[in-house]
A and B are shown apart, each in its own frame.
Chain A
Amino acid sequence: MSSTLSGSRRLGLAAASLLSVATLALSGCAGGGGASTGGAGSDASSVTVFNGATGTISENFNPFSSTALQPTLGVIFEPLFWYNAASDEEPMPLLAESFAWNEDGTQLTIKTREGVKWSDGEPFTAKDVAFTFNLVNETPELNTTGLAATAEATDDTTAVLTFTENSFMQEPSVLGNRGIVPEHIWKDVADPITETNPNPVGTGPFKVKDFTAQSYLLEKNDLYWEEGKPAINEVRYISLESADAATGALLAGEVDWMSSFLPGLEQILSDNENLSYVNTPALTASIFTCSNEELGCEGPQTDPAVRQAIYQGIDREQLNALAGGGFAGTASPTLVLPERDAAWIADPENTETPANANVEEARKVLDEAGWVEGSDGIREKDGERLSLGIQTVTGYSDFISLNDAMAQQLREVGIELKPTQITYNEWINNLNIGKYQLTLESIGLQPSNNPYYSYEKWYNSANTTPVGESALNNNTARYSNPVVDEALAAARATNDETVQKEQYGIIQDEIVRDMPYIPIYVNSLLTEFNTERATGWPTNEDPYALAATWKAWDNGIVLKNITPAE
């Protein structure tokens, strides 16, 4: 290649990726049957995972590091409890057996599991738990959860965490989101921040066997505490450059487990009997609005009536068919997941978003707020045109289709939507500093299914900033409502779920009216499996864990439960 990468080529690459998915999908007939090229190697009970890693893989099995390789959390190191994000159930005990709070939420007593061994043969005790939390507490660089507690092991199976203030809401971070490390190894680690931990000693079902910059191999931990698990011997993680390459590898039988949206999935599956999939919608695709005039937002979307009209005016069934591939789930105006968290919704009216556009209602709302229709069908008020810019990332093809479809739908109501596509870096920057009118983003997963974490992050006025300053991925809509702040404070102070639900009811009434984040639908989360080498993957009927390959913790649960295919 004598010339360098020119601009047009780069643009072309994105365009071509669509085509290549189509062509690769067609090739499914040819390549799908033969897994001869693929992954198993000599050992039958081994699976290959593609978890979205691209390019060179950098060795890092440090469970405290934000850039640790993803199986570090859950597959090699385990937390005390596992919080299942796929269904509404109590946390499952892993390294702990039970926990208890004192009355005012300042002391957490954890009973640890007996008979657990580290993969080097040393016994696991409550001392390791205490050591782990003390290390986090003493090292601000590792403290990503705002932990403020000292820990002490009162005997071999009891660890006590003492917090400086009421900390009920720390529960899922402490119990479910912290990999426990062995004291006998980590006490000698000179710098836990930059440690890459090349030979990790954990309690998880697998340990590292081989590492190269292109791929790494985990093998079964023979000392694993749960009888008879894991059943498979080896797990290989590979790196691929693009979703297209991953699709090709899946069809060729070189990948057993990956999470990616595949156009024409049903067709691919019917051509390849070994492939199956699970759909676990968990992220609510929403229109984020810069909603607060006082904090510097500009444009018609600062009027709650406009946001309400958008909420009523979009036809979600059509959007799902056009942009969601028909796989999206129904969202709730309260921004919790109606399927999983219906119990947390106080008013049943607020359980689900309307499936179809309610043009009458939307027009009525706008009429009442004083937006009158102009000559071209777009409304105006005091000379201001009801025209809104909506941003999304170049290459996010489903979001781009969403924007185009919504622009058409909202014209009916008299709202003009002007979609723009920008680079990821620019988009995330605009979102954080509030340099947008509308933007498409997903409401993500939280430490536990308790809605507190979503509400605190996206609605608390303490977590926002004026436009121009970064809101740090928190309350980027600049929403500010004293009623919500007060209810959050009340919910934070207790671990009584009935009291919390009452407070959430107050919050839900406020946000359903104000709608700073307008839910569209719960985006599909498709995960594909090859059942030729292993079975027992989560299914649509029994999604026993959130099967996405990038999901920390849940990975370990899946990998220890699958069994070699006969």
Chain B
Amino acid sequence: MKYILQKLGFYLIAFWAALTVNFFLPRLLPGNPVDIMLAKLAQRGPVTPEAREAVELLLGTNTEAPLIVQYWQYLGKLFTLDLGTSVAFFPASVTDIIAQTLPWTIGLIGVATVISFVLGVALGMLAGWKRGSWLDNLIPVTTMLQSVPYFWLALILLFVLGGMWDLFPLNGGYNVYETSPGWNLEFIGSVIYYGTLPALTIVISSVGGWMLGMRNMMVSTLSDDYILTAEAKGLRPLRIMTTYAARNAVLPSVAGFAISLGFVVAGSIVTEAVFSYPGIGSALLNAVGSNDYSLMQGLFLVITLSVLGANLLVDLLYSFIDPRTRARS
């Protein structure tokens, strides 16, 4: 119990620190939202000198107040879950934007990360179990794919599979022409079809790391004495591979998985830019482009929460999988 409380306390402090950084970081950006909005308006049509006052009133940008006052207001509002109004998507609220974009990102990147992890660990386990087999030779190939810059790989795959062969759509989250969002088979099928190519690129570019890590841990675990003991007891090879070797070998990968789960939200920007996917990454790009402090803060908050949350979860989970970590308490 004390272990859990300690952990929670630590996470609370980390959370507060992240919130504070969240607040100050966007304000260090050059420019201010009003100028940027006016400049964008000017690209669409005429903007008169009077427009600035109107936009300032509209956005309620009270930059007069000292930063410390704004900071307290910000903390206060966070506790009532009032994340403010977005400038880039005015008058939509930040909560709305997050609610619209987050499911797409978690759906695509989250599922792809889980698939990549499960696949990588399973293949790595087999490769480590049968050293020197053809699976072992696959590892350099996958690590090479991982070392290729992700955007490059994604663009090539998009070009070949989407452009040349026309197997997958070029962009978007679903077929906007023929389906509309809802719990119907058509829409869900469309989402899966449109998500396949982006998910594939993520899996291809990240599976190598899991595989290599798992294989190497497998190899070193297999040379341990208790494996020899297990073999001497005459246990079935499958049982030795899974419950004896793999269970111990997977531990470092689980920690790595936690971290990568946390970065699901943050790491989606490139994928979403390449595939025009309607997720949180594109919202973040938009927010930064418009100096949209509220939206940036809201999105960073989601990222912070997901990183901390994933870590906390694994910390707690770890104490179950690996009893050694809570031995002292």
Q: CB distance B270 to A446 under 8 Å?
A: no
- CB A106 to nearest CB in B, in angstroms, measures 18
Q: CB distance A239 to B276 under 8 Å?
A: yes
Which residues from chain A contact B18 at a C-beta distance below 8 Å?
none
State the CA gap A426–B44 with chains docked (Å).
Answer: 21
Contact among B45, B54, B151, B176 with A214 in the assembled complex (CB-CB below 8 Å):
B176
Q: CB distance A23 to B44 under 8 Å?
A: no
Is the C-beta of B294 less than 8 angstroms from some C-beta in chain A? no
Q: CB distance A212 to B176 under 8 Å?
A: yes
Which residues from chain A contact B134 at a C-beta distance below 8 Å?
none
Question: In the complex, given contacts A54-B286, A66-B58, what are 16 additional A-B residue pairs having Cβ atoms less than 8 angstroms apart?
Answer: A1-B113, A1-B268, A31-B163, A40-B177, A41-B177, A55-B278, A55-B282, A143-B54, A144-B54, A172-B46, A236-B177, A241-B282, A245-B171, A248-B171, A424-B36, A472-B49
- CB A91 to nearest CB in B, in angstroms, measures 14
Q: CB distance A1 to B58 under 8 Å?
A: no
One of A3-11, A334-342, A366-374 at the interface? A3-11
Q: CB distance B58 to A141 under 8 Å?
A: yes
Q: CB distance A2 to B176 under 8 Å?
A: no
Q: CB distance A1 to B202 under 8 Å?
A: yes
Q: CB distance B151 to A241 under 8 Å?
A: no
Which residues from chain B contact A254 at a C-beta distance below 8 Å?
170, 177
State the CA gap A245–B194 with chains docked (Å).
Answer: 14
Is the C-beta of A322 less than 8 angstroms from some C-beta in chain B? no
Q: CB distance A173 to B100 under 8 Å?
A: no
Which residues from chain B contact A457 at a C-beta distance below 8 Å?
48-49
Is the C-beta of A470 less than 8 angstroms from some C-beta in chain B? yes
Which residues from chain A contact B29 at a C-beta distance below 8 Å?
425
Q: CB distance B282 to A54 under 8 Å?
A: yes
Q: CB distance B152 to A1 under 8 Å?
A: no
- CB A434 to nearest CB in B, in angstroms, measures 13
Categorize the interface residue count of chain A: 35 or more
State the CA gap A238–B278 with chains docked (Å).
Answer: 11
State the CA gap A215–B181 with chains docked (Å).
Answer: 11
Which residues from chain B contact A383 at a C-beta distance below 8 Å?
none
Q: CB distance B169 to A37 under 8 Å?
A: yes
One of A13-21, A482-490, A503-511 at the interface? A13-21
Which residues from chain A contact B274 at a C-beta distance below 8 Å?
13, 241
One of B89-97, B214-222, B223-231, B316-324 at the interface? B89-97
> Which residues 12-68 in A have Cβ within 8 Å of B in the complex?
12-13, 16, 19-20, 23-24, 27, 30-31, 34, 37-41, 48, 54-56, 58-60, 65-67
- CB A427 to nearest CB in B, in angstroms, measures 8
Is the C-beta of A140 less than 8 angstroms from some C-beta in chain B? yes
Task: Give chain B's interface residues, CB within 8 Å of chain A.
Answer: 29-32, 35-39, 41-55, 57-58, 85-86, 88-92, 96-97, 100-101, 109, 112-113, 116, 149-152, 155, 158-159, 162-164, 166, 169-174, 176-178, 180-181, 202, 205-206, 209-210, 256, 259-260, 263, 266-278, 282-283, 285-286, 289, 291
A56 touching B100 in the complex, CB below 8 Å, given contacts A9-B151, A13-B273, A141-B57: yes
Is the C-beta of A444 less than 8 angstroms from some C-beta in chain B? yes
Is the C-beta of A87 less than 8 angstroms from some C-beta in chain B? no
List, sorted by A's number, 6 A–B pairs whose CB atoms are closer than 8 Å.
Answer: A2-B263, A12-B151, A13-B151, A54-B286, A56-B278, A552-B44
Which residues from chain B contact A213 at a C-beta distance below 8 Å?
100, 278
A432 touching B35 in the complex, CB below 8 Å, given contacts A67-B91, A144-B51: yes
State the CA gap A372–B152 with chains docked (Å).
Answer: 50
Q: CB distance A240 to B100 under 8 Å?
A: no
Q: CB distance B263 to A31 under 8 Å?
A: no
Is the C-beta of A230 less than 8 angstroms from some C-beta in chain B? no
A1 touching B89 in the complex, CB below 8 Å, given contacts A248-B170, A429-B32: no
Q: Which of A2, A173, A215 has the most C-beta atoms of chain B within 10 angstroms of its own C-beta?
A: A2
Using CB atoms, name the residue of chain A closest to B262: A4
Is the C-beta of A550 less than 8 angstroms from some C-beta in chain B? yes
> Which residues 214-253 in A have Cβ within 8 Å of B in the complex?
214-215, 236, 238-242, 245, 248-249, 252
- CB B291 to nearest CB in A, in angstroms, measures 6
State the CA gap A252–B170 with chains docked (Å).
Answer: 9
Is the C-beta of A205 less than 8 angstroms from some C-beta in chain B? no
Q: CB distance A2 to B256 under 8 Å?
A: yes
State the CA gap A463–B52 with chains docked (Å).
Answer: 12
> Which residues 269-305 in A have Cβ within 8 Å of B in the complex?
none
Q: CB distance B92 to A551 under 8 Å?
A: no
Q: CB distance A144 to B289 under 8 Å?
A: no
Using CB atoms, name the residue of chain B closest to A251: B163
Q: CB distance B46 to A56 under 8 Å?
A: no
Q: CB distance A240 to B50 under 8 Å?
A: no
Is the C-beta of A145 less than 8 angstroms from some C-beta in chain B? yes
Task: Give chain A's interface residues, CB within 8 Å of chain B.
Answer: 1-5, 8-10, 12-13, 16, 19-20, 23-24, 27, 30-31, 34, 37-41, 48, 54-56, 58-60, 65-67, 70, 140-146, 172-173, 177, 193-196, 210, 212-215, 236, 238-242, 245, 248-249, 252, 254, 423-426, 428-430, 432, 444-447, 453, 457, 463, 470, 472-474, 550-553
Q: CB distance A60 to B53 under 8 Å?
A: no
Contact among A67, A172, A552 with B89 in the assembled complex (CB-CB below 8 Å):
A67
Which residues from chain B contact A20 at a C-beta distance below 8 Å?
155, 158-159
Q: CB distance A24 to B163 under 8 Å?
A: yes
Which residues from chain B contact A240 at a C-beta distance below 8 Å?
171-172, 276
State the CA gap A31–B158 with chains docked (Å).
Answer: 13
Q: CB distance A245 to B267 under 8 Å?
A: no
- CB A524 to nearest CB in B, in angstroms, measures 15
Q: CB distance A60 to B91 under 8 Å?
A: yes
Q: CB distance B58 to A429 under 8 Å?
A: no
Using CB atoms, name the residue of chain B closest to A74: B45
Contact among B180, B209, B275, B289 with A210 in the assembled complex (CB-CB below 8 Å):
B180
- CB B145 to nearest CB in A, in angstroms, measures 12
Which residues from chain A contact B180 at a C-beta distance below 8 Å?
210, 212
State the CA gap A60–B97 with chains docked (Å).
Answer: 13
State the CA gap A54–B259 with chains docked (Å).
Answer: 29
- CB A76 to nearest CB in B, in angstroms, measures 16
Which residues from chain B contact A214 at a C-beta distance below 8 Å?
172-174, 176, 278
Q: CB distance B48 to A173 under 8 Å?
A: yes
Which residues from chain B contact A196 at a C-beta distance below 8 Å?
91-92
Using CB atoms, name the residue of chain B closest to A177: B46
Using CB atoms, name the residue of chain A closest to B33: A425
A55 touching B286 in the complex, CB below 8 Å, given contacts A245-B170, A428-B39: yes
Q: Which of A31, A214, A249 has the most C-beta atoms of chain B within 10 angstroms of its own C-beta?
A: A214
Contact among A1, A195, A426, A474 with B206 in the assembled complex (CB-CB below 8 Å):
A1
State the CA gap A474–B285 with chains docked (Å).
Answer: 27
Using CB atoms, name the residue of chain B closest to A14: B151
Q: CB distance A65 to B91 under 8 Å?
A: yes
Which residues from chain A contact B41 at a C-beta distance below 8 Å?
66
Q: CB distance A60 to B92 under 8 Å?
A: yes
Using CB atoms, name the residue of chain A closest to B109: A1
Q: Which of B53, B259, B275 has the most C-beta atoms of chain A within 10 angstroms of its own C-beta?
A: B53
State the CA gap A214–B283 with chains docked (Å).
Answer: 12
Q: CB distance A9 to B150 under 8 Å?
A: yes
Using CB atoms, name the residue of chain A closest to B89: A58
Q: CB distance B276 to A242 under 8 Å?
A: yes
